[in-house]
Structure 1
Amino acid sequence: MEERGRGMTRITINLNVLTLDRLFGGDLGAYVEKARAIEEAGIDGVVMPDHVVFGNDAVYPYGNWTVAPADSWPEPMTVLSAVAAATHRVKLITNVLIAPLRSAVLLAKQVATLHALSGGRFELGVGTGWQKEEYDASGLPFANRGDVLFDQMRACQALWRERPTYLQSDHVNLDGIWCSPTVTDASPMPLWFGLAPTRTNARYFATFDGHWSCIKPDPDFVAEGRARLEEALFTGFGIEKRLKVRAAPAMHCDAAGTPCIDRTMENIHASVAAGVTEFDIPMMFYARDPKTFDRFLERIGGVQRDY
């Protein structure tokens, strides 16, 4: 969050591009082709979420979204690498990557490579996911995924900074390991955690100097969760920190009950007041065809940034 003057906040507008291919006949090349238009519209970042697979009976636990197992979910690091080559300015963001489904050393290399190739534009948002079927299909335990994520992030930061790397933990064993490229202090990479705002999870924000990706867009939930995490950081770790918060804006609909980007963006002040500093706008709820996509880009690219 950037403070300007007395009480002035500068917000960031990112575009969650999941389902972009559906608007263009299922062509995954649309992610690359339209990345240029996204950048030209003045949008600050391109966001990709992550699911490796879906089970037949997956039920989303955080809202009314209906999961269709056959929906298109391109692999986010691959998509963002292609977007990086087609753009010059926009940030490249995972929100969030289900990190425990990947090995720590491979994740460290993928992240550092994309960060370097993009000129330092990549931001890593990670979480543990909610779907047990993904872990079952990957041959990985679901119950301890939080501890796996913690050890993974320890390993990634060590691999990016220490050459060679030595790290022993319950889930990672690095004994004189070399991994290139690295992530240097000259080009730092922000870390975001898509986790429940609990005292237990405050350890991630304290250990890795991370910020919070909030899965629910409700401003009351954002405000309460941010305050809870900040209090836990202070009382548990002695860290006084104003967290940056990434979230979708609370959705507003038109008179017919259809999600309306104009009404949604007119009401983002409530989310800003709650502490949201980075808005990830989910394209899938607002753009239904190429024509409405162009109108959608124009609307969110021109949003006021200072509040």
Structure 2
Amino acid sequence: MSLFKKKAPKYSAPPVPPAPAEEIQNHPSNGLDNNNGAQKSQLVFHCQQAQGSPLGLISGFSNVHELYQKIAECYDFPPDDILFCTLNTHKVDMKKLLGGQIGLDDFIFAHRKGRPKEIEIVKTEDALGLTITDNGAGCSFIKKIKEGSIVSRIPHIEIGDHIERLNDENAVGKRHYEVAKLLKDIPKGTTFTIRLIEPLKSGFASIGPKTGSARSGKKQNYGSGKETLRFKANGVATIENEHDDSSKAGIDKINGLLESFMGINDTELATQMWDLSDGKTNSMQLAEAIDNSDLQEFGFTDEFIIELWGVITDARSGRLT
């Protein structure tokens, strides 16, 4: 699954040290290829800890695990201390979540583990109202809380909280859909304990990417790169152009299906499904492609595949834009 997206929203927070990603040409150790494979390059990204830290420079990674390792080495803490990363903002903003792709000009903020908390919940309804995602490195966390749901009435549970344990069941290392199933399988009327770890919080008001460089006088547009570094499932990172509007609309709609059917939010999974549909002319071909890929482990139902194909055909015809 890819890690880099092409175009991120402009960052409007206060200033931080300058410069977007730099390209160092002819550096063979990074393993990055552009679309035509003619040239390899090493990309350098700026990063900081979301709660406040000096500026860091990282490079030479081709997946989320390696990215976290590089950030951890930069600041000398364990990689599993990272809950998730956001792009171009230090805030816990799920719309800016780093997933399977990073724009070449994006600024990376790492959110580390903070205070643990245990909360006892009575499951009075079938659904708790949580949408779960994960960081791709064994850490599931809350991406969305449905208004009016059981959880929305518990002020101690917040977006960005890592789900570490459900009763005696360790949730660390599980994928988001596995954690969502554990929550769904808790019988109605049952009282259970959820152990959460919230992101480390601290003042960061005066830190953020600069809107311009004091030395050059040139404006730096963080998160506005025209190309995207994507991390592929086979371990290769490639530089690609971003999806067009109809493709992005289709991917967003597929993500909505994942939320409705499975209670998870995963843009990378939605993107992989969209990419798998390329060249397919009916739902049976799509189902076969999914069954022959690493997505078969999700066990998607026939109903889901039919809905998925409907979204894809709507997006292709421009009915979603």
TM-score by length of 1: 0.28
**Larger relative helix fraction:** 1
Larger Rg: 2
Which structure carries more strand by proportion?
2
TM-score by length of 2: 0.27
Structure with more relative contact order (C-alpha pairs < 8 Å, separation 6 or more) = 2
